[in-house]
Amino acid sequence: MPAALEQTTAAVVSIKDVIKEFGPLRVLDGVSLEVERGQTVAIVGRSGSGKSTLLRCIAGLETVQGGGITVCGHPVGRPGSAARAQLRRDVGMVFQSYNLFPHLNVERNITLALTLVKKQSKDEARKRAAEVLAMVGLTDKVASYPEQLSGGQQQRVAIARSLALQPQVMLFDEVTSALDPELTAEVLGVMENLAHHGMTMISVTHEMGFARRVADVVVFMHQGKVWETGPTAEVFANPRTAEFKQFVGSEL
């Protein structure tokens, strides 16, 4: 198959034999993964399995020691490179700790990158902010400051902020881990909605219910490797490895 065709039809994110070490500790040990356009992928596993590190590698927040990652056909690249600039256009990231800018109100949190990076006019950016805030159901919070919002609301603003830049892929790094169950539901609702609208999403999560309900593909990571992966229903119905069986059992 010609390479060009493969790119357009197949993987939006392509991870090949990635190795990541922190000093003597090998956190990712030859990870390979392909994510197709429109897919929702849930990465699950125990803490220390390397799942968050993998996500941070895709986002270019960590440099890998071996293998390669391409997003939309471009390598992740080094900070400051053209490839990295392209990665920033293609990938949106949502963090566990929201990471909203505390000194800026909700609207400015969203318009900051639109005006600085996308060079949009203030009016254009404001319109876009209103659109994405409507999508996450927070139209009335446009002038609020992060500290005035609940954790769930802050996380929805963070999703909106990322969404405003119209990324090809969105990465979610344990975005509900810091939230009460009630607030978790509202954030997961927003993510589910995004998935139904065809957004390509990779989500590191503890929410097995969410993974079962929304994910097309589940990736179980263990000891820095992709231990088991496949279509969600299939994987949950017939776990092949003892580790995954045990993990699913403990999470229920």
Which residue, 79 or 249, has its beta carbon nearer to other proteins? 79
Distances from the Cα of 49 to the Cα of 79, 203, 221, angstroms: 26, 15, 6
In the complex, minimum distance from the CB of residue 239 to other proteins, in angstroms, rounded to a whole number: 34
Which residue, 40 or 111, has its beta carbon nearer to other proteins? 111
β-sheet with 74-75: strand ranges across: 25-36, 11-22, 66-71, 74-75
Which residue, 121 or 241, has its beta carbon nearer to other proteins? 121
Site residues (vs other proteins, CB under 8 A): 59-61, 79, 85, 88-89, 91-93, 95, 97, 99-105, 112-113, 116-117, 145, 147-148, 161-162, 165
Reduced to 3 states (helix: H, G, I; strand: E, B; else coil), residue 239 is: coil
Q: Residue 193: CA atoms inside 13 Å, Cβ hemisphere, count?
A: 15
Give dist(CA 110, CA 130) in Å, integer. Answer: 9
In the complex, minimum distance from the CB of residue 241 to other proteins, in angstroms, rounded to a whole number: 33
In the complex, minimum distance from the CB of residue 105 to other proteins, in angstroms, rounded to a whole number: 8
In the complex, minimum distance from the CB of residue 89 to other proteins, in angstroms, rounded to a whole number: 7
Which residue, 156 or 161, has its beta carbon nearer to other proteins? 161
Residue 153: how many other CB atoms lie within 10 Å? 21
